[in-house]
């Protein structure tokens, strides 16, 4: 008679430990992958939002400066310039009245102030200025307003005007903004840049 041994059903302790270890490794890998995807999406979202805001601000600034006109009081179309600020007159809302526009860098932000002329005789009252933030998280040491005169030829060798700048010598402006979001998960600093020739001062192009 043949004696057949019965085999035990189920898993041994070693097999259970191996399966549990593999499961833990799988869960760790899945968690790491999910975290990396979240960080990437967060960085992309921050970068896209900041880039969109910066491009919108530059578009507004260049359009308004390109169409700059004499002030409502008869003053020159540019009032004051510096490496971090610019004051000029334009009609952004198309109502036929030239507003006083002030773009300036302050508190790591690019801001825009606007004053509607008022009174009789007409004047720009600084207390009436309305200020909004256009770009946040600027690296202010690397962001600047640069101005050129008649000798600007479109090349990198063109020499900018130096301070103190005679506003009547300005023909073209360049704006450089370097952006860095505050979070340590944010994208690396990046630069947006634009140039604009002032239409009503265009005398050599």
Give per-residue pLDDT as tens, 129-177. Answer: 999 999 988 888 889 999 999 888 776 678 899 988 999 999 999 999 9
Mean pLDDT of the chain: 83
Output DSSP code: residue 92: T
8-19: average pLDDT: 70
State the burial class of residue 71 (Cβ atoms within 10 Å of its Cβ: 0-12, 13-18, 19+). buried
Tell me what pLDDT residue 6 has: 54
| Pair 82, 103: CB distance under 8 Å | no
Tell me what pLDDT residue 205 has: 44
Contacts of 50 (CB under 8 A, 6+ apart): 135, 137, 179, 181, 187
* Per-residue pLDDT at 86 exceeds 50: yes
The confidence band for 60, taking pLDDT boundaries of 50, 70 and 90, is very high
* Per-residue pLDDT at 39 exceeds 90: no
* Per-residue pLDDT at 123 exceeds 90: yes
Q: Please give the backbone phi and psi of residue 36, each rounded to the nearest 5 degrees, phi first.
A: -65, -40
Tell me what pLDDT residue 180 has: 81
């Amino acid at each position: 008679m043949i004696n057949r041994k019965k085999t035990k059903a189920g898993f041994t302790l070693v097999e259970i430990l191996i399966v549990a270890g593999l499961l833990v490794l799988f869960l760790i890998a899945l968690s790491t992958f999910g975290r990396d995807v979240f960080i990437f999406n967060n960085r992309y979202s921050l970068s896209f939002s900041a880039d969109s805001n910066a491009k919108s601000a530059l578009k507004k600034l260049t359009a308004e400066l390109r169409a700059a006109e004499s002030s409502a009081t008869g003053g020159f179309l540019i009032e004051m310039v510096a490496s971090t600020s610019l004051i000029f007159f334009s009609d952004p809302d198309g109502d036929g009245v030239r507003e006083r526009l002030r773009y300036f860098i302050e508190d790591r932000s690019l801001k825009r102030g606007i004053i509607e002329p008022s009174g009789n005789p007409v004047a720009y009252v600084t207390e009436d200025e309305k200020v909004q933030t256009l770009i946040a998280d600027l690296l202010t040491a690397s962001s600047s307003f640069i101005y050129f005169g008649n000798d600007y030829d479109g090349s990198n060798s063109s020499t900018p005007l130096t301070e103190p700048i005679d506003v009547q010598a300005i023909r073209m402006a360049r704006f450089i903004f370097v952006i860095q979001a505050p979070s340590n998960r944010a994208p690396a600093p990046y630069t947006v840049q634009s140039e604009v020739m002032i239409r009503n001062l265009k005398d050599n192009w």
